[in-house]
Chains A and B, each alone.
Chain A
Amino acid sequence: MKSLKLLAGKEGSSRRTFFRRLGLGALFAALAGQAYALLRSLVPNVLYEQPQKFKIGTPSEFPEGVTFLEDRRVYVFRDQNTFHTVSAVCTHLGCTVKMVNLNQPRKVAVGGREIEEAQEFHCPCHGSKYYGDGTNYAGPAPKPLACFQMEVSPDDGQLQIDLGQTVGRDVRLSV
């Protein structure tokens, strides 16, 4: 009885008030439950998107230099026996950056040390510019292009990229 009185609120409330509140409460709970079900159904549980981790072929298929994987928006760099990737997704608003080949390689200072670049990445949407290693140097881009984890698949020796895992700018895969 005591707990019922508590539910019914202040002193002097009748059983009628209690039932009124119980009814209203049940109605709101039911509406809230329905609303939750409606809204939750709009958050997808299954995505039919391409997997984050995928094979791109054997190392020998890649020529020296840069290969653009259009489908996955990734640039794959080969420097003899080493491989690394640079994302083609601009860090500003997600447009695909375009590779601009320089007439001749030039040296640029990135974070206090010099690197040699043969190409740069420019974004067509808002004019962000990145050095060949993905470091942003002009335009609105707030951070460098991502580099993704690369490995050699143990089962068939194909190169494998994991878009879910970013790695440092200097990480190279030796094959």
Chain B
Amino acid sequence: MAFNMSKWDRLVWTWRPASEREAGDSVVRNLLLHWFPAKVTKASLSIRYSIWLGTISALLFGILTVTGAILMFLYVPSVERAYASVKDLEFAVSFGWFIRAVHRISAHLMVAVVFLHMLRVFWTGAYKNGTAVNQNRPFNWLLGIGLLLVTFLLSFTGYLLPWDQLAYWAITVGTNIASAAPLVGEKIRFLFLGGNEIGQNTLLRFYVLHCFFLPLAVLFLFSWHMWRVRKDGGLACVDRLALEEKNAQAAPVASKTYSLLGIAKGRTVHVETSLVDHDRHTVPSSPNLTRRLLAVTLITLAVVAALAVFVGAPLEEAANPRVTPNPAKAPWYFLWLQELVTDTTIKIGGFTVNGALVGGILLPGVLVLLLGAWPYLDKSSVASVGVWFAKERRKQDMIFLAIVIFILVFTVIGTFLRGPYWKFYWPWQGWPEVPGRF
């Protein structure tokens, strides 16, 4: 047992428990692991169900925190010195280019992976409650939307920090979208920039948001997200399993039966999940969950490191408010918005509605509201919880797919098919020479 182990055993026992008891102990007793269940269903470990996207998002956040903390030692958030310090990172600091590239690649990946995680949750009907009482998965979906939005904000605030042309103009376009909001837009922009133009105040504000407030928000929302996952009885595929077991009319499994005789309505998560045949469907979290965690960590690190070496992080010339690059583009994950912003200026008689309001605020606003309301509008039965592309939800799956394709198509157009003056060019068409400055 835990108390008469050698020093070496103490270090490794979590990963190599000798009995089920020890396996349970090693999870419950461990500070880092105590938020995991002692046993976990095989279905929720399976890559075919979750594609491990949530785990990867969390890992990327971890990588970003560690590399970000190091970058904080090496970066100076001042208009005069920011660009030079990033340039030093690239050319003078040992491994500086690598750390910065890992940070940037992880940030891009995190946006993508968090988005994919949302798609996975949608298409598996995982925002739906099972049959147990006190489940509140729709609320966890809302927390997830919060995490997605904070991820966007984190990435956007980080985008300005290198203080190069790419950064300066992407933020110019981005913050001008805010000023298109009716009534308060100009004031919000003023507050975010700390003035009328992007300058020292803006850089410092974005820096503090990026390094403190937004990561804090992620940490808070992430803790809440995970806590809800546990309170909701784990991943939605567990509810699916419980339902199947019930329908199969198998021999009763050895589960605790609670007879509260009308004191409590319905069965709680713990009772509901105990209907799952543990011997057949579950394994100890240590080493099965911990090993998977390590494997995913290794894969994520390897992919990020490889991309950091082969793709790297771009650094253009220093920010110059006098020269707008042609074309000037927002970060790729906002290019569908930039494309929308271009296409949605509406003229009604002599009255013009700025595309920034329609494409930059109204449409994304409606999309976020729709996303938040969706679980509450989804009236499909409990049979489509925790299963990919349930028949019953096919129609809404298709509508959701259409929205996703719409966003992807606009992203691709904005990224690859727009040249100088935001004109349309096929990839095989060359861009014309345009004067860089005047």
Contacts and interface: CB of A to CB of B under 8 A. Distances in A.
B173 A95 contact: yes
A125 B197 CA distance: 18
Contact of A125 (B169, B195, B196): B169
Interface in B187-210: 190-191, 194-197, 199-201, 205
A95 B324 contact: yes
A124 B343 contact: no
Contact of A98 (B176, B197, B344, B435): B435
A140 interface: yes
Interface string A9-36: 0000000000000000000000000000
Nearest to B325: A124
Contacts, number: 97
B341 interface: yes
A139 interface: yes
A42 B324 contact: no
Interface stretch (B50-58, B228-236, B309-317, B347-355): B347-355
Most interface-central of A48, A122, A142 (chain B CB within 10 A) = A142
Interface stretch (A53-61, A68-76, A145-153): A68-76
A135 interface: no
B438 A98 contact: yes
Interface residues of B, number: 41
A42 B209 CA distance: 13
B352 A126 contact: no
Given A124-B324, A125-B169, A139-B342, A42 B352 contact: no
Q: Is the interface of A mostly helix, strand, loop or mixed?
A: loop
A71 B322 contact: yes
B197 to A, nearest CB: 6
Nearest to B190: A43
A42 B435 CA distance: 40
B418 to A, nearest CB: 8
5 contacts: A93-B173, A93-B356, A98-B324, A125-B328, A125-B422
Given A70-B323, A93-B341, A140-B343, 6 more contacts: A124-B324, A124-B326, A124-B328, A124-B422, A125-B338, A142-B353
